[in-house]
Amino acid sequence: MSNTSPHKIYDFNAEVKNDHGKFVRTASKFREFVGSEQFPLESDRYALILAYACPWCHRTDLVRTLKGLEKIIPVVFVDNFLGEEGWRFGHEGDQDTISGLDAKFLREIYLQSNPNYEGKITVPVLYDKKQHLIVNNESSEIIRMMNDQFNSLATRNQSLDLYPSELRSEIDKVNEWVYPNINDGVYKCGFAQKQQAYEEAFHALFKTLDELENILSSQRFIVKGSKHVTEADLRLLPTLLRFDIVYYTHFKCNLKSLRHGYPNIYNYMKEVYQLDGGILSQTFNVDQTKKHYFGSHRRINGFGIVPLGPDITGYYDTPFHRNL
């Protein structure tokens, strides 16, 4: 399917500026909120469509799990392989059981919601099973809905506010440098199509990681003044979890690994990941993640061979050490 075709699938080449070879992510288009007249709050009315590999999906599943919303907002996982037809159901993912279409590809659900839709077909998707409509496909807004509108239905950590009013300005400031330089920064490295574009993203990434390492030498969490985890930590965590196993090699982010080059970041990652007795570990599937990145990005990894390493024995679940 060509990049100029209507209903184009997610193709990173469509987001590369050809004159400079830079990857520039386009904005999500479905931006409604639960709690409105059109989308009232109800238990088991909405579902998330996610991919295990996707860090933007992962942040939504982290909040969903931390808040105990598993039965309130069920999840349908797409297959790990992203091919020419886009995200697909079945195979190693779940069947579509929510749209009434028995859809084979996610694009069918996008067109169900808007028959004239043109643009990327992406995950995560917050979907209204009653009206058969996409509510929102912007992860940063979905996690805030779960923290706010869905919190009255939370069965876990209901008193935990991930976006407290007294810290919102600080959280917003952190998000403003973490997102472009780290969350999206690894993609800017991996999807760059010219050397200069890659090097600019690479240097920005590691400059920011160096600064983060310094911050975490004296702070338990990333937001100054926070005594508990906030949305900023949960937005950062998925990128950190994937860094050494995928981004270091696949996206050429190979100046330093977290495990051997950033002890404060590495131990911070483990501390956040091990919250609530390790309940968040159920949100991360390493095998599915590696299969997606190395198997789907054929312009980066031509034969789709998935590496067997690195050895991650004890990488996520060993005790963390932070002298704060």
Q: Is 28 annotated as a binding residue?
A: no
Q: Which residue has the tokens 């100029």?
A: 4
The mean pLDDT value for 265-283 works out to 98
Domain ranges of the chain: 12-153, 165-276
Q: What is the pLDDT of residues 148-182, one digit of tens each?
A: 999 999 999 999 999 999 999 999 999 999 999 99
Active site residue ranges: 54, 187
CATH fold label, 165-276: Glutathione S-transferase Yfyf (Class Pi); Chain A, domain 2 (1.20.1050)
Give the max Cα distance, the chain: 55
Cα separation, 269 vs 262, in Å, equals 11
Q: How many CB atoms lie within 10 A of CB 313?
A: 8
Q: What is the pLDDT of residue 15?
A: 66
Q: What is the pLDDT of residues 4-27, one digit of tens each?
A: 344 454 455 556 666 688 888 888
Cα separation, 117 vs 110, in Å, equals 7
Q: What is the pLDDT of residues 196-253, one digit of tens each?
A: 999 999 999 999 999 999 999 999 999 999 999 999 999 999 999 999 999 999 999 9
Predicted structure pTM score: 0.95
Which residues does 274 contact at the CB level (< 8 Å), separation at least 6? Answer: 280, 281, 317, 320
Q: Which CATH class is domain 12-153?
A: alpha beta
Q: Is 290 annotated as a binding residue?
A: no
When pLDDT is cut at 50, 70 and 90, the band that residue 51 belongs to is very high
Q: Is 143 annotated as a binding residue?
A: no
Q: Is 120 annotated as a binding residue?
A: yes
Query: What is the 8-class DSSP label of residue 196?
Result: H
Cα separation, 177 vs 231, in Å, equals 14
SS3 content of the chain, % helix, strand, coil (to 5): 40, 10, 50
Q: What is the pLDDT of residue 290?
A: 98
